[in-house]
């Protein structure tokens, strides 16, 4: 049985990230943690950027990602479907991010209530300067975002998928992207450039402002 299982394991560069995560779970259960350690190194940046995309600050994002890996190890022996581990990690990290955002907002509200209470000498309520952007700036940003999203939907599906993945990080992992969408690593940079050029052309045709056209 052991021989047949290992015969199906291909070179790491030839299998998907989800398959490698599933294999790592099986290996860990049998007392061989090396495969899981490799998956942790490879997936931690993806999880971190997934958490940051939900509005979590960098330090809190580190904590959420660490908690996600701890939860995986804690439930390792009860995982019924190893091939679902990759999706589980992403969902767990995203939920942890949402909880971190909720905690931050509760803390901010509590601090605001403390600082915005009545002045002990005059009885008048203190006014706390708002850190929120001006209403006109919010409207302008929202208009640009709507324009960009509308134009983005006109791109070919391949471009939309590639640009979403590239936007996950300042230094995107082309190996991961190659595995995710089945595109050769050597083609990703050139394809990304063509997709961005197409996006700029569509933005020009849509009448978008100079901020988007020169992004």
Concatenate the DSSP letters of all residues of 30-46 into one string. Answer: TT-THHHHHHHHHHHHH
Nearest-5° Cα angle at 178, 15 to 57: 105
Task: Please tell us whether the domain made up of 135-210 is placed in CATH 3.30.70.20.
Answer: no
For residues 3-17, average pLDDT = 48
Domain boundaries, the chain: 2-104, 135-210
For residues 146-165, average pLDDT = 82
Q: What is the CA radius of gyration of the chain?
A: 23
**Alpha-carbon distance 117 to 162, whole Å?**
50
pLDDT exceeds 70 at position 56: yes
Kindly report, residue by residue over 71-101, the tens digit of the pLDDT. 999 999 888 899 889 889 988 998 999 999 9
**Alpha-carbon distance 31 to 140, whole Å?**
56
Could you count the other beta carbons within 10 Å of the beta carbon of residue 86?
Answer: 19
- Model confidence at 6, pLDDT cuts 50, 70, 90, reads very low
pLDDT exceeds 90 at position 214: no
Kindly report, residue by residue over 15-33, the tens digit of the pLDDT. 677 888 899 999 999 999 9
pLDDT exceeds 70 at position 48: yes
pLDDT of residue 144: 64
Percent residues over pLDDT 70 in the chain:
69
Could you count the other beta carbons within 10 Å of the beta carbon of residue 182?
Answer: 9
Question: For residue 209, what is the DSSP state?
Answer: -
pLDDT exceeds 90 at position 49: no
pLDDT of residue 129: 52
- Model confidence at 150, pLDDT cuts 50, 70, 90, reads confident
Q: Which two tokens stand for residue 19?
A: 């398959």
**Which are the contacts of 84, defined by CB distance < 8 A and separation ≥ 6?**
none
SS3 sequence of 15-33: CCHHHHHHHHHHHHHCCCC
For residues 102-124, average pLDDT = 69
Largest CA distance in the chain: 81
With contact defined as beta carbons under 8 Å apart, do 25 and 88 qualify?
no
**Alpha-carbon distance 58 to 100, whole Å?**
11
What fold is seen in the domain 2-104? Rna Polymerase Sigma Factor; Chain: A (1.10.1740)
Kindly report, residue by residue over 160-202, the tens digit of the pLDDT. 888 877 776 556 667 767 766 778 888 988 999 999 999 889 8
Task: Please report where in the chains the tokens 């998956």 appear, as a residue.
Answer: 39
Q: Give the phi and the psi of residue 208 in degrees, each rounded to 5.
A: -65, 160
51 versus 15: which is more confidently predicted?
51
């Amino acid at each position: 049985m052991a021989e047949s299982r290992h015969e199906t394991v291909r070179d790491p560069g030839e299998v998907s990230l989800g398959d490698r995560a599933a294999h790592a779970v099986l290996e860990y259960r049998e007392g061989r943690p090396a495969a899981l350690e490799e998956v942790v190194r490879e997936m931690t940046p993806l999880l971190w950027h997934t958490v940051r995309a939900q509005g979590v600050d960098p330090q809190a994002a580190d904590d959420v990602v660490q908690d996600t890996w701890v939860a995986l190890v804690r439930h390792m022996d009860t995982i019924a479907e190893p091939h679902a581990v990759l999706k589980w990690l992403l969902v767990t990290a995203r939920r942890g991010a949402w909880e971190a955002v909720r905690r931050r907002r509760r803390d901010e509200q509590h601090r605001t209530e403390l600082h915005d209470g009545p002045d002990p000498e005059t009885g008048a309520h203190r006014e706390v300067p708002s850190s929120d952007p001006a209403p006109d700036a919010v409207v302008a940003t929202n208009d640009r975002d709507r324009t960009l999203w509308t134009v983005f939907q006109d791109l070919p599906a391949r471009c939309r998928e590639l640009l979403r993945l590239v936007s996950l990080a300042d230094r995107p992992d082309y190996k991961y992207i190659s595995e995710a969408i089945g595109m050769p690593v050597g083609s990703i940079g050139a394809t990304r450039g063509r997709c961005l050029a197409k996006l700029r052309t569509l933005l020009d045709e849509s009448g978008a402002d100079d901020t988007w056209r020169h992004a």
